[in-house]
Amino acid sequence: MSVYLDHAATTPVRPESLNAYLEAQSHFGNPSSVHAQGRQTREILEQAREVLAEAVGCHRSEVIFTSGGTESDNQLIKGLYWSRQDRPRKYILSALTEHHALLDPIHWLEKHEGAQPVWLTVDKTGQPDFAQFQQLIEELGDEIALVSLMWVNNETGALIDLQKFSALAGQRNIPVHSDAVATFGHLPFKFSETGLTAMSISGHKLGAPIGIGASIIARSAKPVSLIHGGGQERGLRSGTMNYPLAMAFAQAASAAVSDQVEREHRLGAMRDRLERELLKTIPAVSKTISGPRIEHTASFLFPGAQSDSLLFLLDQKGLCVSAGSACQAGVLGASHVLLAMGYSEAEASSVLRISLGHSTTEADVDTFLGVIEEVYSTALRAGLNR
């Protein structure tokens, strides 16, 4: 039986989420239809929106269902940028430590729409340079289309003081987006108190089935739609909505938010024990960040070993871990996040991410600790033979 320590990639479906999906799926109808069965499924969809809004801390009309975090990032980056072109505003402030679901839309806008990204420097604690941000806000001001910064980094777990950035941008009425996929359900917050214009969240990261997410968009924001058709979801995401997945997401989110403080405290204690014993057993190993971070994620450098060798050897022993994001179509190379933080190519190619979740046990941690020294020794030998 395998030991799963890759919850930042996806986490097992919560029973309450699966039950909600099956119950909703037993009702048949198009939520846009006016007949009784359509109205019934529309009611399920709107109930899901209400439950998710409560979990997020926003108004129900600010919840726009999508297929997941990648779609939401694309919708919000492109949509907010386009909505700001009533006058020339070409600058997008962000950081190269962001997820590719955000970096790639920015690069697309740069290539096809004349956008000009300005990348904030990120230090080895995972923190964007706030002094640089202040200077850019002052110098570029009304020419900035938007700001986008992830709250918690999906690879390192680095946690930034996002509200400091959103507050400053807000003084100049600059919209701020955040990829909160790694944040929601792990860190208590209310969207209405963040100062954000919009954020992206995903269901399968907190116990819903894969294929559902949401864009949380302040009512004052009017992003341009990527998908045109029937005008569903405030006209921002046309198409027949998958109401069973929406309800499954809502119930998973409600459950994750309700137990997040206790759960993250428990996972943080396990993570700290794993780190403490790993660094004692293998002194050459080091943590990638030492600053503020989320409780359930740990990221390590294994000098002299390749990430792919470590993953393969751990997989052979029944342990599921990762080197970073699982959203790069199975392509493994040097971590772009660590490179952006100033690590060398060799260091960024020797990283291992351990991420814990609601189903993780102390026995899972013990299993990892019981094999990692042998795995590292084998990976070192493999590296010498390359």
- Amino acid at position 174, single letter: I
152 vs 130: CA distance, rounded Å: 16
Backbone phi, then psi, for 152, in 5-degree steps? -125, 130
- Tracing tokens 């190993």 back to the chain, one arrives at 285
Q: Which three-class secondary structure state does DSSP give residue 318? A: coil
Q: Which residues of 143-180 are buried (b: 16+ CB within 10 A; e: fewer)?
A: ebbbbbbbbbbbbbbbbbebbebbebbbeeebbbbbbb
- Tracing tokens 């386009």 back to the chain, one arrives at 82
Nearest to 217 by CA among 62, 12, 23, 16: 62
CB burial of residue 350 (10 Å; 0-12, 13-18, 19+): buried
Task: Report whether 343 contacts 124 (CB < 8 A).
Answer: yes
- Tracing tokens 């402030």 back to the chain, one arrives at 93
What does the CA dihedral 189, 192, 196, 201 come to, rounded to 10 degrees?
60
287 vs 81: CA distance, rounded Å: 36
**Between vectors from CA 96 to CA 79 and to CA 105, what angle results, nearest 5°?**
25
Q: Which three-class secondary structure state does DSSP give residue 219? A: coil
294 vs 299: CA distance, rounded Å: 11
Task: Report whether 216 contacts 189 (CB < 8 A).
Answer: no
Residues paired with 381 in a beta bridge: none
Residues paired with 354 in a beta bridge: 298
Retrieve residue 102's tokens: 């955000």
Query: Annotated catalytic, 327?
Result: yes
133 vs 117: CA distance, rounded Å: 13
Residue of 18, 327, 369, 382 marked active site: 327
The rounded radius of gyration (Å) of the Cα atoms in the chain is 21
- Residues involved in catalysis: 327
